[in-house]
Amino acid sequence: MMRFPTVLTAAVVFSFLITETVGIRFVIDREECLSHNVEYEGDTVHVSFVVIKAESTWHFAEEGVDLVIKGPGGEEVHSMYDRTSEKYEFMAQKKGLYHFCFTNKSPYHETVDFDVQVGHFAYYDQHAKDEHFKPLFDQIARLEEALYNIQFEQHWLQAENDRQAVVNEKMGRRAVHKALIESAALIGASVLQVYLLQRLFERKLGTSRV
């Protein structure tokens, strides 16, 4: 009975995970910069984005967009180019405002789904002295982070599905337009053939009468 308060105290104040997730879907013309504050040094930052669709019916956004991640001091953390979909994670070397700058090099407006998730481990061991508890609560915190990562992954996959649905719809429209153009060309060629045959018969009849 004397150990129960110690166990309870350790469970409450020893270790837990704070996770913050932010998602936004926006339309980019040329360049768009978004910022997110990381409150603690050493936090894990998860980033994902998907180019959902383009403004043009005939454009499939295969060129993608560029993303440059910059730290609080303006230093470049990571960059990626010509991506339609990407996931990336890094450990924040400094606390402060991180900038995520997208660049669209195509002549069309692009719709981008963007997510940021920041994971932070907090430890409070003022009342817990038993070292046997640390591995247990580390595992609990990692499990909680894994659950948040699953939610993060699900959102990314949903954005991917949205993009694929848009691409399939545009491909279907393009196929219909192509079929209509081919049908019109075939009809035009048939009409031209009938006209040429009529002229040919008229000339032959005129020659035979003479």
pTM, 2 dp? 0.56
Domain-embedded: residue 185: no
Q: Is residue 14 part of a domain?
A: yes
pLDDT at 158: 77
Residue numbers of the domain that contains 53: 4-165
Burial of 115 (0-12, 13-18, 19+ CB in 10 A): buried
Regions of the chain where pLDDT drops below 50: 1-16, 61, 124-127
Write out the E strands in the chain. Answer: 15-28, 31-38, 44-54, 65-70, 76-83, 85-91, 96-103, 110-123
pLDDT at 4: 33
Whether 197 is in a domain gets the answer: no
| Dihedral of alpha carbons 78, 79, 80, 85, sign | positive
Q: Is residue 175 one of the residues assigned to a domain?
A: no
Q: What is the CATH number of the domain that holds 81?
A: 2.60.120.380
Q: Are 96 and 72 spatial neighbours (Cβ–Cβ below 8 Å)?
A: yes
